Amino acid sequence: MDSIRIVGGAELNGRIPIAGAKNACLTLMPATILTDEPLTLTNAPRLSDIRTMTTLLQSLGAEVAGLQGGQVLAMSSHDLTSVHADYDIVRKMRASILVLGPLLARFGRAEVSLPGGCAIGARPVDLHLKALEAMGAEIDLAEGYVKARAPAGGLKGAVIDFPLVSVGATENALMAATLAKGTTVLNNAAREPEIVDLAHCLRRMGAQIEGEGTATITIQGVERLGGATHPVVVDRIELGTYMLAPAITGGTVECLGGRMELVGAFAEKLDAAGVSVEQTKDGLKVSRKNGRVSAVDVTTEPFPGFPTDLQAQMMALLCTAEGRSTLHETIFENRFMHAPELTRMGARIEVHGGSAVVTGVERLKGAPVMATDLRASVSLILAALAAEGETVVSRVYHLDRGYERVEEKLGACGATIERIREA
């Protein structure tokens, strides 16, 4: 397993290109199942999660070709041969469940293994299933699989009231509804930019959708969808992560492709902590205003609130802030696994259930640490950039699921960072 070695202490200065959004790409790819015409995604990120989704779609008989080094994904579900998403692939990535809605909508049948993914909480899929049941699907859970069947005439439009906001359940229901008979209304829908991006792509394919980006999305089912070419939206989580780099080390970094509306609540917290964020014509320019950032309190919420996917990275920054910060995690129940690792680097953190109290220290110290999940791993890298001495982050396969070329991007801004490859 590879590890990453960092020698901390250097200011970061430069420009970092931000890739297309992993989480958008992971829902745009299954949208290929909805049509027998080609769907091409541009600005795709080159990540192991994308390769897993590629393998999953290929196992169903879809053609998926990565062009231009993987930045363009040319897909076709013209000759799909299977509606069975196997455990061996699905267990690697929770987003695999996103093939369920499209398979059911186009073929009337689907068998999808119950998913695995990051160990950050129970993460059930009941809301996905309830939404599809409301559209007339019959669903059985047997042998670890979701076995779903649409009624004889196909899925039917329905009013779906989500009891809590779920990104994945909204995506599955949205995709399924595009080919259902009649009108579907999704109430308490997720408003994330990745949902908006999916709706834009589906509209290019001929879907009739209104209200994406609000809590109510209305879909008028159509007979069939066609092909399209669609650019994947910028990754707001990668963006936020790299915005934190100069905040924690000092210096100025311009995150290319960054847009304020993707990271509004997060940028407000940075501002309150003493980090300036400025929209330029090419992206977002970030620098620390004074010597040390100030403590701030953070509560994770569905979009447009502070994203849970930036909580671990924000904690790394607050470890060196002046004063005491509290982070409340409201989305996932087990998402402070980075705290004990940050503590190994000299951070002062107390976790009580869903809250963590961080008392800032002047300087973190390098240490051997272990990545426990995707966002936790990058929080350790951020902490290491600011720490005195050497840090080795092991188990970075988690990192490779969501960040492309981390060493290159940070190295180009002056960080001492290298990957240690293991045979």
DSSP 8-state assignment for residue 418: E
User: Could you say whether residue 95 binds ligand UD1 (CB under 6 A)?
Assistant: yes
Q: What is the CA radius of gyration of the chain?
A: 21
| Among the listed residues 203, 208, 200, the one whose alpha carbon sits nearest the alpha carbon of residue 184 | 208
User: Could you say whether residue 212 binds ligand UD1 (CB under 6 A)?
Assistant: no
Among residues 52, 76, 96, 166, the one that binds ligand UD1 under rule CB under 6 A: 166
Tokens 């840090």 map to which residue? 391
Q: Which of 118, 201, 319, 413 is catalytic?
A: 118
User: Could you say whether residue 308 binds ligand UD1 (CB under 6 A)?
Assistant: yes
- What is the Cα–Cα distance from 285 to 401, expressed in whole angstroms? 26
Catalytic residue status for 118: yes
Angle at 174 between CA 112 and CA 63, to 5 degrees: 55
Q: Which stretch, 33-41, 59-67, 165-173, 392-400, contacts ligand UD1 (CB under 6 A)?
A: 165-173
Joined tokens for residue 235: 């990754």
Strand partners, 17: 256
Among residues 6, 12, 25, 26, the one that binds ligand UD1 under rule CB under 6 A: 26
The residue among 153 and 163 lying less far from ligand UD1, judged by its C-beta, is 163
- What is the Cα–Cα distance from 236 to 260, expressed in whole angstroms? 9
Among residues 9, 14, 108, 121, the one that binds ligand UD1 under rule CB under 6 A: 121
The helix (run of H) or strand (run of E) holding residue 285 is strand 283-288
User: Could you say whether residue 310 binds ligand UD1 (CB under 6 A)?
Assistant: no
- What is the Cα–Cα distance from 221 to 191, expressed in whole angstroms? 21
The residue among 128 and 156 lying less far from ligand UD1, judged by its C-beta, is 128
Among residues 67, 82, 88, 124, the one that binds ligand UD1 under rule CB under 6 A: 124
User: Could you say whether residue 23 binds ligand UD1 (CB under 6 A)?
Assistant: yes
User: Could you say whether residue 127 binds ligand UD1 (CB under 6 A)?
Assistant: yes
The residue among 171 and 254 lying less far from ligand UD1, judged by its C-beta, is 171
The string of DSSP codes covering 4-17 is EEEE------EEEE
The residue among 16 and 169 lying less far from ligand UD1, judged by its C-beta, is 169
Q: How far is CA 267 from the centre of its chain?
A: 18
Q: Which stretch, 84-92, 123-131, 204-212, 251-259, contacts ligand UD1 (CB under 6 A)?
A: 123-131
Distances (CA, A) of 142 to 103, 146, 148, 330, 356: 18, 7, 11, 31, 39
DSSP 8-state assignment for residue 331: S
User: Could you say whether residue 154 binds ligand UD1 (CB under 6 A)?
Assistant: no
Segments of 143-251 assigned E as strands = 145-149, 159-161, 183-187, 208-210, 216-220, 228-231
Report whether 182 contacts 221 (CB < 8 A). Answer: yes
Among residues 219, 331, 371, 382, the one that binds ligand UD1 under rule CB under 6 A: 331
CB half-sphere exposure, 100, CA atoms < 13 A: 34
User: Could you say whether residue 167 binds ligand UD1 (CB under 6 A)?
Assistant: yes
Smallest gap from residue 335 Cβ to ligand UD1 (A): 9
The residue among 166 and 391 lying less far from ligand UD1, judged by its C-beta, is 166
The site that binds ligand UD1 (CB under 6 A) totals a number of residues, namely 22
Q: Which stretch, 39-47, 53-61, 67-75, 117-125, contacts ligand UD1 (CB under 6 A)?
A: 117-125
The residue among 26 and 342 lying less far from ligand UD1, judged by its C-beta, is 26
Smallest gap from residue 137 Cβ to ligand UD1 (A): 14
Q: Where does residue 353 fall: left (phi above 0), alpha (psi -120 to 50 degrees), or beta otherwise?
A: left
User: Could you say whether residue 325 binds ligand UD1 (CB under 6 A)?
Assistant: no
Active site positions, annotated: 118
Q: Which residues bind ligand UD1 (CB under 6 A)?
A: 23, 26, 94-95, 121-128, 164, 166-169, 194, 308-309, 331-332
